[in-house]
Chain A
């Protein structure tokens, strides 16, 4: 009697585990099928023009910096937080690198207005006009981005401020600082940056290469996969996102993990800024307004729960592809205006939220049934 009762609970448990694994992957499967549907639809509607390898490579190239940023945002959202400073940090990094490579890094408008500053600048021009080596510029901006993220993480953790608010202030700060460095867009003509780094490519077939930016995205993606699924830090991120209190009681370093998550996001945002400069060959403090929303939308479409704890880096990559495909389809259509992109993305986000809600409700019901 007791044995059979034990067996049934065991069976329930096993069944529940199977259900949970299945339900965990449902949003991911939905995302994958949307990617396939969009791509197949594009191929069917626009023929070989859409199906060509070049268009496919361009799809990755056009969205490489969004992908890098969205992967960082995935970790933040997995941990149960949110990062609104992504777009501003991308813009800041891009103009910082451009200023380092091209200019003296001083706001010319300011000099024109203030004679004292102009005199001082003239006196110390040998310091200010010293061009930084591009690799050093990239290094400096990546470090700055990480530090910025770490600072946000510290305020969030030590002062228990809501991530939403802190990263919002971070967004204002980074956006404004970009304009302090240089008030307009600035082209990068530095030979090493443009000719050397940007010309690294892997030839795929005749006439189509994998550009450097896509390689960056691939590396970030693989590293992120490894971090999320094969490291202690990755597991801690999932645990904290699911239930911070339980994670802390289990002895996981909640504070350290949270600060590291925001540091990671700062790093990837800065890296996205670097990729942006390769892609656009310029830096612009006014670029990427609302970019963080694209990143968050990509994460949500990729099947990550915004409440944290459930989600996949791979899903985010597919989410980015979906955003890119929608854009491509609208461009290929030619008749639809660009604002349809926004509406389509909004609707897709809604659909995926609905799927997630149904799935979590279903899994909760099975859990309750098993418990009862």
Chain B
């Protein structure tokens, strides 16, 4: 009887990546279905001045920052680390961009380059601490998380630096192909990351270091370099997200840009199927995870839940998705069914 059960299950076994992806996608689909029936105007799309407007577009637009962060965070988590500083790095990048754009006759590419360079520098700092000096990732990135906002305020002089430069504002508020421009940035970054990790051996290196550092060392992979690069990439992504965030509100708000977004990004990655312990990673899963979190938030707003209370359902959904993915939970469910079968 038992044997039959096991055999009948076998043909339905999904490939690993699909099995991992199925839960976040199912959760997202469930949430969208709920909104389809119970939230008015959720699926309404409007075209104004050749641009799309509506709730779904809003989700893409607002979720873009977390999606950008989650790309970098995926690689960091896959190496078995974590980067808590990305929110603070966003604030730094936003501050640098805002301060530089206000300098008269400053070439625009230089502004973006400087903001990205300083966030890459932050990534180098994290990468040095974790990869080279072998400090625990949580602690190492905690340093920049605590100090980073202070640095950002130092750059802006504790002020809210506002700007009106149309090129910078476009990065956060512009439209491309009818969609908000941040979506394009996410798409390009996703494509680059996916090609770099899946069409070259880099992704494999990352996974092997996260899965078993000693074994990959003996296989000739420099875990030091791989970890270092992962943090640098996370810093770069955080810089992009910071520029988008600042451009979106046309202001460098060092206290609030990216606040708690590192947590959202980590959640997005974990919900997307990448384990906090490292190893296999799922870039697309992370994007779906980020969309799930943003859809949840937007649903709350649409249903008149105050933004302060919105974290409650978010927390519940996150815990549920994590529990559903946990082997211990699977075992319990299986036990439940086998008991029923014997009785």
From B145, B151, B266, B312, residue with most partner A Cβ within 10 Å: B312
> How many whole Å from B303's CB to the nearest CB in chain A?
12
CB-based contact A353/B140 at 8 Å: yes
A342 and B147 contact, CB distance less than 8 A: yes
* Chain B residues, CB < 8 A from A345: 146-147
- Which of A173, A337, A342, A357 has the largest number of chain B CB atoms within 10 A? A342
Q: Is B174 an interface residue (CB 8 A)?
A: no
Q: Does B175 contact A (CB under 8 A)?
A: no
B contact residues around A300 at 8 Å (CB): 139, 142
Q: B142 near A176 (CB under 8 angstroms)?
A: no
Q: Which residues of the other chain, A, contact B277 by a CB distance below 8 angstroms?
A: 162
Contacts of A179 in B (CB 8 A): 306, 308-309
Nearest CB in chain A: distance from B305 CB, A: 9
Interface range on chain B: under 10, 10 to 19, 20 to 34, or 35 or more?
A: 35 or more
Cβ proximity bits A132-174 to B, threshold 8 Å, 1 near / 0 not: 0000000000000000000000010011111011101111110
Q: Find A343's partner among B151, B266, B276, B314 (CB 8 Å cutoff).
A: B151
Contact with B along A93-110 (1 / 0, CB 8 A): 000000000000000010
Contact of B328 among A160, A293, A347, A349 (CB under 8 A): A160
Chain B residues whose CB sits within 8 angstroms of the CB of A337 once the complex forms: 153, 158
Q: A175 at the A/B interface (Cβ < 8 Å)?
A: yes
Measured between beta carbons, the chain A residues less than 8 angstroms from B333 are none
Q: B255 — nearest CB in chain A belongs to which residue?
A: A339
Q: Which residues of B297-343 have CB atoms within 8 Å of chain A's CB atoms?
A: 304, 306, 308-312, 314-316, 318-319, 322-323, 326-329
Known: A155-B319, A158-B328. A109 touches B306 (CB 8 A): yes
A73 to B277 alpha-carbon distance, docked (Å): 22
Q: With a CB–CB cut-off of 8 A, which chain A residues contact B315? A: 169-173, 176
Q: Which residues of B contact A171 (CB under 8 A)?
A: 263, 315
Interface footprint category on A: 35 or more
In contact, B263 and A168 (Cβ under 8 angstroms) = yes
Chain A nearest CB from B110 CB (Å) reads: 26
Across-interface contacts of B154 in A (CB, < 8 A): 339, 343
Q: Is the CB of A339 within 8 A of B153?
A: yes
A307 within 8 A of B: yes
CB <8 Å contact, B322 and A161: yes
CB pair B136 A307 closer than 8 Å: yes
CB contact between A176 and one of B135, B143, B266, B311 (< 8 Å): that residue? B311
Q: How many Å lie between the Cα of A205 and that of B263 in the bound state? A: 48
- What per-residue 1/0 map shows which CB atoms of B211-240 lie under 8 Å from chain A? 000000000000000000000000000000
Known: A162-B277, A165-B270, A176-B310. A293 touches B146 (CB 8 A): yes
Closest CB of chain B to A228's CB: distance in Å?
21
A306 to B277, CA, bound (A): 16
Residue A183 CB within 8 A of the other chain: yes
In the complex, 26 of the A-B residue pairs with CB atoms within 8 angstroms, ordered by the A residue number, are A159-B323, A159-B329, A160-B328, A161-B323, A161-B326, A162-B276, A165-B266, A166-B319, A166-B322, A168-B263, A169-B315, A169-B322, A176-B308, A176-B310, A176-B312, A176-B314, A183-B308, A285-B308, A293-B145, A297-B142, A306-B136, A339-B153, A339-B158, A340-B150, A347-B147, A349-B146
Known contacts A172-B315, A339-B153; 11 additional CB pairs below 8 A are A113-B304, A165-B270, A169-B267, A172-B311, A173-B311, A179-B306, A293-B142, A297-B142, A342-B146, A345-B147, A347-B147
Give chain A's interface residues, CB within 8 Å of chain B.
82, 109, 113, 155, 158-162, 164-166, 168-173, 175-177, 179-180, 183, 285-286, 293, 296-297, 300, 306-307, 337, 339-343, 345-347, 349-350, 353, 357
Q: Which B residues have a C-beta under 8 Å from some C-beta of A?
A: 82, 133-136, 138-140, 142-151, 153-154, 158, 263, 266-267, 270, 276-277, 304, 306, 308-312, 314-316, 318-319, 322-323, 326-329
